[in-house]
Structure 1
């Protein structure tokens, strides 16, 4: 008779050293001829070391230089996360649940050609060849804070265009109250979609949604690149959503369909665990995840090889002046 034993780990996921940083640290110590007892060694920031070691494994796909502008409004004085970390430590459950799985397995995904369909409550439905469309757009570099629900954050220079520009071109009707998004569904390549075990129990394809006013907000970006280049596969190539005042799972990757709707659309994590992941997913330090606090965060890629000290979580991820008016009069603990 099989016996199920429940194991409760001593550490929560957000307290564990990121796998790429752990691997890099071991390689560096071994190269210096040091044992594990050298863990207390004081080392410099090491961003170039991280980039050199992690970039080989992390930059799957992408890498084509892009021409872009740098609007002053989107260039905050924040230390950027090292590119090797940002492309090696991320969530993309279509390729597995471990943070290193996307960089390890996403290389098989073919992103050329890539079609994006805009439909639903619009006057002018459109089907775009993303790569041809990209060449006609004026791309902007926007340095945004990126906050994950597991209480870690990054600062990433995204390249893209305001989502509003694409939606306006399609002509939303008066009935368009929400915008729904859908990720590519290709279980033959996206290993997480081929198995509930590998994909964390998600019912694919991955879907997300915003209110129309959130989607049309100037901060909401349809990103096609990062760090001056096209997106790597593991970061959502060739086109993804970036909504900087919301938790990262709202930033749906590898989008193939955008549909404007009158009713609130379903969203993947809300369907999977509604008590943990609300539709809005605004960064709010007073609303804890049921399994850990959201009051503080750790900045991944800062403070050298051994991480940074925890810092207080900012309401709306620090973008309150720009977006708080969208939620005036709403109970942000109820509509989490």
Structure 2
């Protein structure tokens, strides 16, 4: 069902701006004072990117929709966001080796007829794995072209029965301070939770990814299971998913709570809506010097614009 008018986030779920600013200042002070050492995490240069296990023969996908050259594996695995392992772009590669990806299970609950828990090994056998080369755009202004390996979210819907009340889907990331030391700090309201409208989640471009570049997912990129929505900014793609919850009302998500005037629920790539602190009109691919013009919906407008027909995309950003 196409939902044209989203529900407002309840004021009680939104972080006060003053609290958010104080939180950021606290984190900056802690890190400058060597707080990372107090957390028991190592400093220094990130380790070199190492390949994972091959995922074998992959099914070709008609949804790649780009002829752009893939960004080098090293660039994608050494630079990125995964706040559970630290706030700077090199932190995930430096600290994610702590993550234990086996055993791993994902609970599916909420507005479903029967809640279920799946082991990651079972999920890997749900459908032939596809390689999909997607353009990805981050809100900070950098972008990449990544060959993801995974399957459509609709494969999950085949195995659970959402009730008629299900209108949104939440994706919960692991938040274990033993494995993820920066969860001990109030960088965000843990656990990291992202969400989509149900029609966005079931769109054929939305995938649950288990790998990239033909190999199992690197820990710093969200192993063993992450969400990929190529027409939205990268922070919508929850990493290291442990729970998928179907709900009736639009939920507050990690970044909408942290900065509601900067990070909207929809987070569709829109070059005409600037971030509060920078423009979104251009982007720089990892490994490239010159910037390029940002495309509406990250270049996937033909496929997804109909999801938002009649909506003011400046208001619902």
TM-score class, shorter-chain normalisation, is: 0.7 to 0.9
Structure-2 residue corresponding to 1:275: 261
Determine the C-alpha separation between the residues in 1 that align with 2:253 and 2:165. 20
Q: Aligned residue pairs: how many?
A: 273
Contact 1:113–1:131 (CA under 8 A) maintained in structure 2: no
Contact 2:126–2:155 (CA under 8 A) maintained in structure 1: no
Matched, 1:58 2:44: no
Q: Deviations over 1:302-322 (max 9, x none)?
A: xxxxx3311111000000000
Note the 1:275-294 alignment, pairs <5 A: 275-294=261-280
**1:161 aligned residue (140, 143, 151):** 151
**2:220 aligned residue (222, 226, 234):** 234
Determine the C-alpha separation between the residues in 2 that align with 1:137 and 1:113. 21
Matched, 1:134 2:124: yes
Contact 1:124–1:169 (CA under 8 A) maintained in structure 2: no
For CA contacts below 8 A with separation 6 or more, give which structure has more relative contact order.
Answer: 2
Matched, 1:315 2:301: no
Structure-1 residue corresponding to 2:60: 70
Determine the C-alpha separation between the residues in 1 that align with 2:289 and 2:67. 17
Q: Bigger CA drift: 313-322 or 115-124?
A: 115-124
Determine the C-alpha separation between the residues in 2 that align with 1:95 and 1:155. 23
Structure-1 residue corresponding to 2:196: 210
Q: CA deviation at 1:195?
A: 1.8
Contact 2:63–2:205 (CA under 8 A) maintained in structure 1: no
Determine the C-alpha separation between the residues in 1 that align with 2:242 and 2:215. 21
Determine the C-alpha separation between the residues in 1 that align with 2:210 and 2:275. 30
| 1:170 match: secondary structure | coil
| 1:334 match: secondary structure | coil
Task: Specify every segment of 5 or more residues in structure 2 that has no aligned partner in the other structure, as ranges.
Answer: 1-24, 26-44
Taking structure 2 as the reference length, the TM-score comes to 0.83
Runs of 4+ in 1 over 4 A off after TM superposition: none
Structure-2 residue corresponding to 1:115: 105
Q: CA deviation at 1:136?
A: 4.1
If you compute each CA radius of gyration, which structure gives the higher value, 1 or 2? Answer: 1
Taking structure 1 as the reference length, the TM-score comes to 0.79
Determine the C-alpha separation between the residues in 2 that align with 1:77 and 1:279. 30
Determine the C-alpha separation between the residues in 1 that align with 2:115 and 2:152. 18
Determine the C-alpha separation between the residues in 2 that align with 1:170 and 1:334. 33
Q: Bigger CA drift: 110-119 or 187-196?
A: 187-196
Q: Deviations over 1:76-129 (max 9, x none)?
A: 211110000100001000000111100100001100010101111112321000
Structure-1 residue corresponding to 2:231: 245
Q: CA deviation at 1:225?
A: 0.3
Determine the C-alpha separation between the residues in 2 that align with 1:80 and 1:223. 17
Q: CA deviation at 1:167?
A: 2.1
RMSD: 1.6
| 1:72 match: secondary structure | coil
More helix by share: 1
Q: From the superposition, tell whether residues 213 and 72 of structure 1 become closer, same or farther in structure 2 (CA, over 3 Å).
A: closer
Q: CA deviation at 1:73?
A: 3.5
Structure-1 residue corresponding to 2:312: 331
Q: CA deviation at 1:210?
A: 0.2
Determine the C-alpha separation between the residues in 2 that align with 1:189 and 1:123. 33
Determine the C-alpha separation between the residues in 1 that align with 2:67 and 2:226. 24
Q: Bigger CA drift: 114-123 or 268-277?
A: 114-123
Contact 2:193–2:253 (CA under 8 A) maintained in structure 1: yes
